[in-house]
Structure 1
């Protein structure tokens, strides 16, 4: 680990004076500390925000919920309001990592975790995300867990968060604060970016910009279901995950939201599948056509070719579940 300057932040107002372009924020540290040990992340400053008053879950207006950036994954998943009204989010959180990691990992940190690509973590291998212009070892290498949607010639890595997939389906917003004190909010769907020609940029955050919290709008109508397909039953990232919120009226889809995880550089909102289902009878044929519409441009790279039919089957199964049952989401 390379030397760095450590400073504990007592109030968000201190960040403007303290932050440099090479500063990183430390909260739970479950991802950042590992990256620093591997010398993949080499911040000159480490600004410890773990003592800030940003660990609250509070009721908002019109049935919404305000989640502070330091709320742990365990606290958010177990909150009675979340379990009852946003069960998709609770199920997604409980599908991630282990209990010990969920006890430390924070809401903001979960959103900002880096890819788990083998080549990103192996500094002896080429990686455009780690060193732009170096090349991508995954194209011709071991790419079982890699992207089938939204990839570029520079990078085929995937975003690992389960929580972010649920938040995209729930139309959640993320609150941001810049070092100059200005604030903005944008949809979680717009926080992460596809690799394009700049795979080193995972998000649209400006230097020194801090996630202060997440806004969960009032829950939409319909049944919420989250399913994660992985190589083992715990402590494994998704090969494919799907979050669905489906409402029916007289057997016809009145509203639907779908998000994929494990298939792209960011949580993938399945807009084409949603459009294919809206106003249609909730039949097996409609579910298959929706899956085909979303995955028409999917591309495998050899080792991950199986992900395309897997994503198709998983989406159809989750839609079937959401259309045929009532109650809380399940992982």
Structure 2
């Protein structure tokens, strides 16, 4: 880790005033410190923003607002989240270890970088680390890599569990610039697919910070599930994950939400499968048909073909678990 200057900011505009090409912000530090140790991130200065960001969960006229500095543990244990947005808690508790959840911030969770082994190995080419250098995963070890939405520049996947649930719940990301002006970005538009610019993970404006996450009130609290398939039950990243939520009326599906992690460069919504589920009877045959729709156009890499049937099973399991209130 290279030496760096360290300072603290107590307000977003104050923190943004310190921003330059060699500055990075730190909140929980659960991802950034790893990147600094590996010489992937080498900031000349770090700005601590733990006092600059809101750290409250608040009920609003439309739903709920989660401050960017709310740490993962209190988020997963909050009474309002558990009562009205339990899918959030399920996803958070499926990710990381208790120690990391105690430190990790909501805003930082959205900004964490891929865990592709080639991204973390500075001796290998990686377009996310150095644009134009190549993607070592395509001809190499790609067991954990993407099966949808990738390009010939990058096949890395987004690592967050929380973000999968936020995508399923149609959350929005509230960002603030140094003038105090805020704007809202739909969660499905916040993260990017790799395309020809895999070094860009998200659409956070250059001179802004995440202020909070907003979720509108919905009817998914009673019937939702998060299924994560991984190499070990303890702390491990998803091979595939599924956030599922159903709005049911007399066992008929009024509305459905399906999103996945471990399959793409961003949390992935299965919109066609969601549309199919709408109006159908909630049963095993319906769930299997929806899973078939989700996987029909997927293209695996050389070492991760197993992910496609695994995903199909995870979607069916998550939908079935939605019926267990």
Smaller-chain TM-score bracket: over 0.9
Please say if 1:243 is aligned against 2:261.
Answer: no
Q: What secondary structure, in the 3-state scheme, does the structure 1 residue paired with 2:302 have?
A: coil
Offset from partner CA, 1:179-224 (integer Å, 9 cap, x none): 3432111122211000000000000112232001111221324501
Please, what TM-score do these two structures have when normalized by structure 2? 0.96
Distance in 1, matches of 2:16 and 2:229, equals 42
Residue 93 of structure 2: aligned partner: 94
> Once structures 1 and 2 are overlaid, which stretch shifts more, 91-100 or 12-21?
12-21
Distance in 2, matches of 1:162 and 1:241, equals 8
Distance in 2, matches of 1:115 and 1:278, equals 33
> Once structures 1 and 2 are overlaid, which stretch shifts more, 213-222 or 183-192?
213-222
Residue 184 of structure 2: aligned partner: 185
- Would the alpha carbon gap of residues 290 and 251 (structure 1) be closer, same or farther in structure 2, given more than 3 Å must change? same
Distance in 1, matches of 2:74 and 2:284, equals 37
Residue 33 of structure 1: aligned partner: 33
Runs of 4+ in 1 over 3 A off after TM superposition: none
Residue 7 of structure 1: aligned partner: 7
> Once structures 1 and 2 are overlaid, which stretch shifts more, 286-295 or 210-219?
286-295
Offset from partner CA, 1:3-57 (integer Å, 9 cap, x none): 3332211222213421113321100101001101111112233211012251111
The offset of 1:162, in angstroms, is 0.4
Q: List runs of 5+ in structure 2 lacking aligned partners.
A: none
> Once structures 1 and 2 are overlaid, which stretch shifts more, 262-271 or 45-54?
45-54
Offset from partner CA, 1:221-248 (integer Å, 9 cap, x none): 4501111111101110011111111122
Residue 274 of structure 2: aligned partner: 274
Q: Is the 8 A contact 1:19 1:45 kept in 2?
A: no
> Once structures 1 and 2 are overlaid, which stretch shifts more, 106-115 or 39-48?
39-48
Aligned residue pairs, count:
324
> Once structures 1 and 2 are overlaid, which stretch shifts more, 129-138 or 17-26?
17-26
Distance in 2, matches of 1:73 and 1:255, equals 28
Residue 165 of structure 1: aligned partner: 164
Q: CA RMSD in A?
A: 1.4
Please, what TM-score do these two structures have when normalized by structure 1? 0.94
Distance in 2, matches of 1:120 and 1:162, equals 20
Q: What secondary structure, in the 3-state scheme, does the structure 1 residue paired with 2:241 have?
A: strand
